[in-house]
């Protein structure tokens, strides 16, 4: 007999197919009456499979009083009320570990593309400007530059290794100093002041909301670059937009935005920003590994075994 679960969103296609095949699945996004669907499932459902940007709050947890586990597709759990889950004794898991390398690849690609302006130069070529207007303007080298990593966790350390291979110097800021060979700065503004490129790879949530604000961008300065592969909420997006428009910083590479998938269209007119649609972990291999881990955590819990990647 298959265990019954609630799935909050369709998410990754292959993972959804596994969830539907291996469990008795209630697709919450398909319910015409969400409250009625939850009420009907409440006596039986012990697990929730979550993905996407919808909130998993105390109200949803209370609608499923037998809920024991929320298995999240993704490393970030800022859309899940962890305090509410802890109060109710609900385990929350994520897919930590399996996406480190791909996110680090994306981060370095954004550093390169932002400073060298490869996407803009490609557009210049395609428009015929190379023949009519001559060579594309010079970009900025990354070798010898200082990369300030805001959030030196597992992904941050993977980024640091790549950046060092490109000849960059590494500084970082965390809530707590780590036993690593990189220079430590006591706060985000100091890190920005000491960096040529400030790379954001912190968790999202209330603790980091708008951590990168006007004070930090002022410290980064008109020769500095910002790269964000964390969460859009970590950066004050409207302030960043104004600083880019007014050339108060040199440029930015952004994979995440505050109100995804909505992006302020003013960004599109700027030639000092590189934009990607939250694709840091978006490879076939990594998304499959994330889905496999989400499903594995559910099976482990139902078997009475410890989950692999607990958050709470």
Active-site residue among 3, 154, 278, 299?
A: 278
C-alpha to C-alpha distance for 73 and 90, rounded to whole angstroms = 16
| % of the chain residues with pLDDT over 90 | 99
Active-site residue among 17, 30, 260, 285?
A: 260
pLDDT for position 1: 85
C-alpha to C-alpha distance for 274 and 13, rounded to whole angstroms = 28
Whether 183 has a pLDDT exceeding 90, the answer reads: yes
Same domain, 234 and 191: yes
Instruction: Supply the mean pLDDT for the chain.
Output: 97
Does 270 fall in a domain?
Answer: yes
For the chain, what is the domain count? 2
**Token reading at 234:** 């970590």
pLDDT for position 169: 98
The string of pLDDT tens digits covering residues 1-27 is 899 999 999 999 999 999 999 999 999
Whether 303 has a pLDDT exceeding 90, the answer reads: yes
Does 75 fall in a domain?
Answer: yes
Short-list 164, 166, 178, 223, CA closest to 198: 223
Residue 199: band (very low, low, confident or very high) from pLDDT cuts 50, 70, 90? very high
Does 296 fall in a domain?
Answer: yes
93: number of Cβ within 10 Å: 25
Short-list 33, 30, 21, 28, CA closest to 45: 28
Does 174 fall in a domain?
Answer: yes
**Among this protein's residues, is 260 annotated catalytic?**
yes
**Token reading at 252:** 């930015």
**Among this protein's residues, is 299 annotated catalytic?**
no
The string of pLDDT tens digits covering residues 231-263 is 999 999 999 999 999 999 999 999 999 999 999
Same domain, 240 and 124: yes
pLDDT for position 211: 98
Same domain, 142 and 262: yes
C-alpha to C-alpha distance for 272 and 76, rounded to whole angstroms = 28
Same domain, 161 and 19: no
Q: What is the dihedral of CA 79, 60, 295, 305, to 10 degrees?
A: 110
Please, what is the angle between helix 284-302 and helix 100-116, to 10°? Answer: 150
The string of pLDDT tens digits covering residues 97-147 is 999 999 999 999 999 999 999 999 999 999 999 999 999 999 999 999 999
pLDDT for position 234: 98
C-alpha to C-alpha distance for 68 and 25, rounded to whole angstroms = 16
Domain region containing 85: 4-98+285-302
The string of pLDDT tens digits covering residues 30-72 is 999 999 999 999 999 999 999 998 999 999 999 999 999 999 9
Same domain, 180 and 201: yes
CB 228 within 8 A of CB 205: no
Same domain, 167 and 31: no
Does 312 fall in a domain?
Answer: no
**Among this protein's residues, is 22 annotated catalytic?**
no
- Residue 309 per-residue DSSP state: S
Same domain, 79 and 191: no
Could you give the strand order of the β-sheet that contains 4-7, starting from the edge strand earlier in sequence? Answer: 24-27, 4-7, 47-50, 69-72, 91-93
C-alpha to C-alpha distance for 25 and 284, rounded to whole angstroms = 24
Helices (H), 42-97: 58-63, 82-87
Does 222 fall in a domain?
Answer: yes
Same domain, 113 and 38: no
Q: What CATH number is associated with residue 294? A: 3.40.50.720
The β-bridge partners of 184 are 172
Residue 228: band (very low, low, confident or very high) from pLDDT cuts 50, 70, 90? very high
pLDDT for position 114: 98
Does 280 fall in a domain?
Answer: no
122: number of Cβ within 10 Å: 12
pLDDT for position 150: 98
Q: Say how many CA atoms lie within 13 Å of 256 toward its Cβ.
A: 26
Cα of first residue to Cα of last residue in the chain, in angstroms, is 28
pLDDT for position 14: 97
C-alpha to C-alpha distance for 22 and 205, rounded to whole angstroms = 32
Same domain, 120 and 19: no
Same domain, 237 and 115: yes
Same domain, 225 and 177: yes
Q: What is the pTM of this model?
A: 0.94
Active-site residue among 12, 18, 50, 231?
A: 231
pLDDT for position 188: 98
Does 307 fall in a domain?
Answer: no
- Residue 232 per-residue DSSP state: G
Same domain, 131 and 239: yes
pLDDT for position 287: 97
Give the angle 65-66-72 at the CA atoms, nearest 5°.
95
Give the residue-averaged pLDDT of 70-93: 97
């Amino acid at each position: 007999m298959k265990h019954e679960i609630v799935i909050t969103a369709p998410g990754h296609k292959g993972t959804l197919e596994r969830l539907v095949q291996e469990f008795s699945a209630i697709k919450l996004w398909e319910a015409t009456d969400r409250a009625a669907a939850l009420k009907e499932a409440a006596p039986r459902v012990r697990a929730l499979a979550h993905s996407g940007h919808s909130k998993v709050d105390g109200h949803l947890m209370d609608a499923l009083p037998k809920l024991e586990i929320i298995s999240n597709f993704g490393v970030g759990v800022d859309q899940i009320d962890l305090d509410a889950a802890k109060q109710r004794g609900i385990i929350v898991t994520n897919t930590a570990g399996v996406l480190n390398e791909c996110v680090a690849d994306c981060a370095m690609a954004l550093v390169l593309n932002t400073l060298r302006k490869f996407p803009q130069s490609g557009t210049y070529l395609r428009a015929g400007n190379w023949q009519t207007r001559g060579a594309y303007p010079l970009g900025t080298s990354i070798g010898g530059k200082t990369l300030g990593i805001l959030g030196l966790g597992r992904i941050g350390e993977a980024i640091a290794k790549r950046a060092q291979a490109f000849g960059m110097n590494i500084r970082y800021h965390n809530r707590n100093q780590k036993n690593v060979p990189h220079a430590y700065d006591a706060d985000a503004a100091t890190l920005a002041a000491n960096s040529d490129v400030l790379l954001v790879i912190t968790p999202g949530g209330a603790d980091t909301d708008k951590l990168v604000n006007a004070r930090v961008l002022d410290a980064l300065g008109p020769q500095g670059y910002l790269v964000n592969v964390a969460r859009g909420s970590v950066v004050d997006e409207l302030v960043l937009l104004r600083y880019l428009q007014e050339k108060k910083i040199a440029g930015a590479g952004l994979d995440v935005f505050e109100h995804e998938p909505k992006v302020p269209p003013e960004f599109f007119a700027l030639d000092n920003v590189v934009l990607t649609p939250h694709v840091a972990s978006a490879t076939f291999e990594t998304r499959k590994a994330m889905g496999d881990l989400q499903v594995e955590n559910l099976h482990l819990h139902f078997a009475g075994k410890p989950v692999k990647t607990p958050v709470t």
